[in-house]
């Protein structure tokens, strides 16, 4: 073994404790110290093994240490690793062609960046560039777009959505370019409507906000077609159709933040799933098979970036990540990974619905592909959020060998989002662990 790796892997308990004192982490649900993983499973430093239903920030589509991804990275690293964006490289050109081909018709130019938040900001920049005189965006209640200043200003973490302010309140002087409109959170409709008879008041509020809630012309409407961090909230297609109409009527660029939906819903893009085409799509997370890369792809009619330092990052042209992204696209196509995502996702969702008969505290189960969340409530009638119970279920899950995600603005949504290669057998294990965890906490 490489002597540097030997030293790293050989850290003693005392060295680890000492090192922790130097580390600052600015967010996320804490988890165990991980040492190695394969497929959907990962091991911690004490030898415990877990099925990871977080895919490490929802980013490992092919699971841990995929052999082909490892192989292609190692081989390409013999030729190039870091390339500045001022230089073209073959992986960069190959990947933009792939993405332009996969994206909905009419979206054909790609700009790479370093993460999801910066991708959302890049999308905001394109919108501003194309809307002279516009200053403010509209985002939706409970949306999450990142923690960079521009993206945080559009995210729930800058509001009192969780019943109190998060750390973003320290940064308010930098967050001032976004107005908000209601999200179509049908389980808790703020207008008290039922989906079947709903007249899309939330879309109407968006229209009214464009007319009366924004100073000057609206620079863009930004939304996640399925809100992830906010609580796995699946938007009705009718709502997205109406938003598209409204944006067309007012000539406002529509931005889909697909940082989490890309592939995870069992289709390349949510735009395709909902058959609603935005003007700009932001991607990140799983795009690089676990290596850092994010991107936007924009409509042909929009003016793109110029070379005048509008969007310039030293590491926005990561050659290794691009090669990993290309290889991953090939594997997804060759192995029917999107089909697996749809099928095993539906199987997991069915299993969860069966568990719901035994545990009515599973108030709402929301699933598209492997983009799955369970909203826990104390009583399905009152829908009082079961916050402590949800946390405990996650804790019990860890003891039993599964890492679940925790989220929703009320922190009562358990996320079940394993890598997209999860098998039927592993789905059974996940359901079994969850059943045991719920039994301990709720019975």
Q: How far is the CB of 155 from ligand PLP (least distance, A)?
A: 8
> Where on the chain is the footprint of ligand PLP (CB under 6 A)?
115-117, 120, 144-146, 224, 228-229, 257, 259-260, 284
Please state the closest distance from residue 292 (CB atom) to ligand PLP, in A: 8
In the bound state with ligand PLP, the residue whose beta carbon lies nearer, of 123 and 393, is 123
- Name which of 91 and 116 has its Cβ closer to ligand PLP: 116
- Looking at beta carbons only, is 5 or 28 nearer to ligand PLP? 28
CA distance readout (Å), 138 to 199, 237, 255:
21, 19, 10
CB of 13 to ligand PLP, least distance (A): 31
Distance CA 238, CA 253 (A): 19
**CB closer to ligand PLP out of 26 and 192:** 26
What minimum distance in Å lies between the beta carbon of 230 and ligand PLP?
9
Q: In 78-213, which ranges are continuous DSSP H helix?
A: 90-102, 116-129, 149-152, 201-208
Q: How far is the CB of 256 from ligand PLP (least distance, A)?
A: 10
Closest CB to ligand PLP: residue number: 116
Could you give the CA distance from residue 172 to residue 212 in angstroms, rounded to a whole number? 23
- Cα–Cα distances (Å) from 353 to 64, 143, 174, 400, 403, in that order, read 28, 26, 43, 21, 20
**Nearest-angstrom CA–CA distance, 220 and 203:** 15
Residues 6+ apart with CB under 8 A from 115: 146, 284, 292, 294
**What count of other Cβ atoms lies within 10 Å of the Cβ of residue 277?**
18
Measured from the CB atom, the residue of 91 and 146 that comes closer to ligand PLP is: 146
Residue 103 or 228: the one with the smaller Cβ distance to ligand PLP is 228
280 bridge partner residues: 255, 298
User: In angstroms, what is the minimal distance from the CB of 261 to ligand PLP?
Assistant: 8
- Provide CB contacts within 8 A for 336, sequence distance 6+: none
């Amino acid at each position: 073994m490489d002597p540097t790796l030997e030293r790293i892997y050989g850290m003693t308990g005392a060295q680890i404790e000492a090192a922790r004192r130097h580390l600052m982490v600015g967010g996320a649900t804490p988890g165990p110290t991980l040492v190695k993983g394969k497929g959907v499973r990962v091991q911690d430093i004490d030898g415990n093994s877990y099925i990871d239903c977080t895919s490490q920030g929802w980013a490992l589509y092919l699971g841990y240490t995929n052999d082909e991804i490892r192989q292609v990275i190692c081989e390409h690293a013999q030729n190039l690793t870091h390339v500045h964006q001022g230089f073209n490289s073959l992986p960069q050109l190959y990947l933009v062609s792939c993405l332009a081909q996969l994206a909905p018709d009419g979206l054909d130019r790609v700009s790479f960046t370093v993460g999801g938040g910066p991708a959302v900001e890049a999308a905001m920049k394109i919108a501003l560039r194309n809307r002279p005189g516009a200053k403010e965006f509209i985002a939706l209640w409970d949306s999450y777009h990142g923690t960079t200043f521009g993206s945080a200003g559009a995210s729930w973490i800058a509001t009192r959505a969780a019943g109190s302010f998060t750390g973003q309140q320290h940064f308010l002087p930098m967050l001032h370019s976004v107005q908000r409109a209601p999200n179509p959170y049908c389980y808790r409709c703020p207008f008290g409507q039922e989906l079947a008879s709903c007249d899309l008041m939330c879309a109407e509020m968006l229209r009214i906000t464009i007319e009366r809630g924004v100073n000057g012309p609206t620079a863009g409407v930004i939304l996640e077609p399925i809100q992830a961090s906010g609580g796995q909230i699946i938007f009705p297609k009718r709502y997205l159709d109406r938003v598209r109409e409204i944006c067309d009527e007012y000539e406002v660029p529509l931005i889909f933040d697909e940082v989490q939906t890309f592939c995870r819903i069992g289709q390349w893009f949510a735009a395709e799933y909902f058959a609603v085409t935005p003007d700009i799509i932001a991607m990140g997370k799983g795009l690089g098979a676990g290596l850092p890369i994010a991107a936007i792809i924009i409509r042909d009619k929009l003016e793109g970036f110029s070379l005048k330092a509008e969007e310039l990052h030293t590491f926005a042209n990561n050659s290794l990540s691009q090669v990993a992204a290309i290889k991953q696209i090939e594997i997804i196509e060759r192995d029917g990974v999107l089909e697996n995502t749809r099928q095993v996702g539906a199987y997991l969702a069915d299993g969860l619905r069966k568990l719901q008969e035994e545990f009515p505290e599973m108030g709402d189960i929301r699933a598209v592909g492997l983009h799955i969340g369970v909203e826990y409530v104390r009583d399905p009638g009152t829908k009082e959020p079961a916050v402590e119970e949800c946390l405990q279920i996650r804790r019990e899950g860890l003891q039993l060998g599964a890492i679940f995600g925790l989220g929703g603005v009320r922190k009562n949504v358990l996320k079940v989002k394993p890598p997209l290669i999860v098998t039927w057998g592993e789905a059974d294990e996940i359901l079994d662990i969850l059943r045991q965890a719920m039994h301990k906490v709720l019975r």
